[in-house]
Structure 1
Amino acid sequence: MDIDVLGPLGVRVDGFAVMPTAPKPRKVLALLALHVDRVVPVGVLVEELWGERPPRSARTTLQTYILQLRELIGAALERGGHAAPGEGGSSASAKDVLVTAPGGYLLRGDGGASDVREFERLAGLGYRAMDAEDFAGAARYLGEGLALWSGTALADVTTGTQLDMEVRRLEETRLCALYQRIEADLRLGRHRELLGELTVLVSRYRTHENLHGQFMLALYRSGRRGEALSVYQRLRQSLISELGLEPSVELRRLQAAILKTSEPTPLSVRSEGLAGGARDRLVPAS
């Protein structure tokens, strides 16, 4: 089974799509796909489908959706040439793929591809390369991981409470990887190449201090000192108007360093953490 969630939902068995068109079965499949090879409790599925006030028929209706998914899986297995139980040879059935487990349901991946697992693997390699100051390796691994994204996670699924949390978690991991990849590129002196990308990012994330700090640094290193200072002022206005906060001490130090220097010097912003809200500190570039 191959699973894509970093963009539109895609689930394939033996290369054949298993995609219900109705919104609620798609939600069920999305949750099972996100937790492939792990049991998803019935209560979690019910909450995703109906919120805090499910109908009395919720569990029966959920079983109907499971049956619909198994029909799609069974059709894909037949098209893939798997023998049905009782026909001899190696057999596979939809119940072997979408399993009823104690307290819930489990979707078996059977070692197939998963874009989110591959992203997490590549991001992990990238973070370890950053720790080892292998900035070229970090930029490569993180760039390959980010290339797996084709849009917002589960872009074509109408999400409920559970899927909303999962989508936010995935988007946060994407933003963390993006921040670290840009950090690696800055360490490699690619500040001019980053200007276009950072222009878009700071417009999208108006109060993200780390990205604004990176943009300031890229502009500063490109000899555009005045523009770097303007980025700080726009960030400050956004933070005050939207969050009632002043920029962090670290961002104020970066602004002060730019104000005091008439020519760009090799400065860098190193992450203190991977979260999107992590603070930065000004350190000499190696």
Structure 2
Amino acid sequence: MHTSELVDTIDARMLGPLRLTVGARSAVPSATKPRSLLALFALNPHRQLSTGSLITELWEECPPRRAATTLQTYVLQLRRLLAEASGMESPEVAARLLRTVNSGYVFTPDDLYVDIHGFHQLADRAEMSDRAGRTAEAATLYRTAEKLCAGSPLIDVQHGPMLRAEVVRLEHSLLCVTERRIAMELRLGYHRAILGELASLTAQHPFHEDFHAQFMVALYRSGNRTGALEVFQRIRGAMVGEFGLEPSRKLQELQYSIMNDDGALDLPIAS
């Protein structure tokens, strides 16, 4: 490939196992530390990453004596894989795609798709649709964002400090997107359709008050008031037993409303 030619779109998938392809060709190494390095570069395109920060990411507080030299070897492996996948020569990859700059490296693809960035873009669009009152559109966008996830983020990659922080942030964002999508679906009257999902979510997240509140509302609207109250008692027992804390006032008020068959919990009648 000549230097004037464009490299195919680089497609990086990290919402699940790590995948990085150029066209249809994979550039993911099999070794643990080069995989971590590739994930870090793909998450930080056009941003210089210092040698010191990369060494800390790969070895944390116990780097080997020749860590900088070993890091260079890993970068050479990545350049070779990127060259094979793109049809470029390794020196061209070093000059155009994975460059050495000052005391670090920078990944500079012309055309890069990262599923994590796509996820955040969809979530932002969904939030704007919700604010504009387009509830069904918001629910669809949130669900589309969720479908990008093929498992726990970077599930097959070793996490150093930077990747660990990114994974924690992503897991929180995924939960928020699921909670917002369910809120939209409750508003649209899909309470019966999401009962099974909410049963699973509350089992997976026994202290997540928003999921429990949504499950209580969905059960109540499905005609199962006793089931809704049992959900409250279950989270209350877990919170008191584990932390000595009562559920939030919001959740307690929801329990009171269900006990008193408060019509405010019913879906508004479409005009």
With the length of structure 2 as denominator, give the TM-score of the two structures: 0.90
Q: Displacement, 1:144?
A: 0.7
- Relative to 1, partners in 2 of residues 1:256 and 1:45: Cα closer, same or farther, differing over 3 Å? same
Q: Determine the C-alpha separation between the residues in 1 that align with 2:244 and 2:100.
A: 50
User: Which 10-residue stretch deviates more, 239-248 or 189-198?
Assistant: 239-248
Provide the rounded CA distance (Å) in 2 between the counterparts of 1:120 and 1:235. Answer: 30
For the 8 Å contact 1:36–1:108, the answer to whether it is kept is yes
Query: What residue number does 2:213 align with?
Result: 213
Alignment of 1:1-286 (within 5 A): 1-78=10-87, 82=88, 92-261=92-261, 265-266=265-266
Q: Is the 8 A contact 1:187 1:285 kept in 2?
A: no
Does the CA-based 8 Å contact 1:191-1:222 persist in structure 2? yes
Q: By how many angstroms is 1:263 displaced?
A: 7.3
TM-score (norm 1): 0.85
Change (3 A) 1:183 1:243: same
Give the 3-state SS of the residue equivalent to 1:220 in structure 2. Answer: helix
Deviation, structure 1 residue 99: 1.6
1:72-105 CA distances to partner (integer Å, 9 max, x unpaired)?
Answer: 1111122xxx5787xxxxxx53441112223422
1-structure distance, mates of 2:159, 2:169: 14
Q: What secondary structure is seen at the aligned counterpart in 1 of 2:29? A: coil
Shift of 1:247: 0.5
Query: What secondary structure sits across from 1:256 in the alignment?
Result: helix
Contact 1:73 1:94 in 2 (8 A): no
Structure 2 gap segments, 5+ residues each:
1-9
SS at the partner of 1:73? helix
Tell me the percent identity: 43
Deviation readout 1:24-61 (Å, 9 max, x if unpaired): 11111111112223222322211121112322311111
Unaligned runs of 5+ in 1: 86-91, 269-283
Matched pairs, number: 262
> What letter is aligned with 1:36?
P
- What SS is found at the alignment partner of 1:192? coil
Cα-to-partner distance string for 1:211-251 (whole Å, 9 max, x where unaligned): 11001110011010000000011111111223332100100
Shift in alpha-carbon separation, 1:103–1:232, aligned structure 2, 3 A: farther
What secondary structure sits across from 1:99 in the alignment? strand
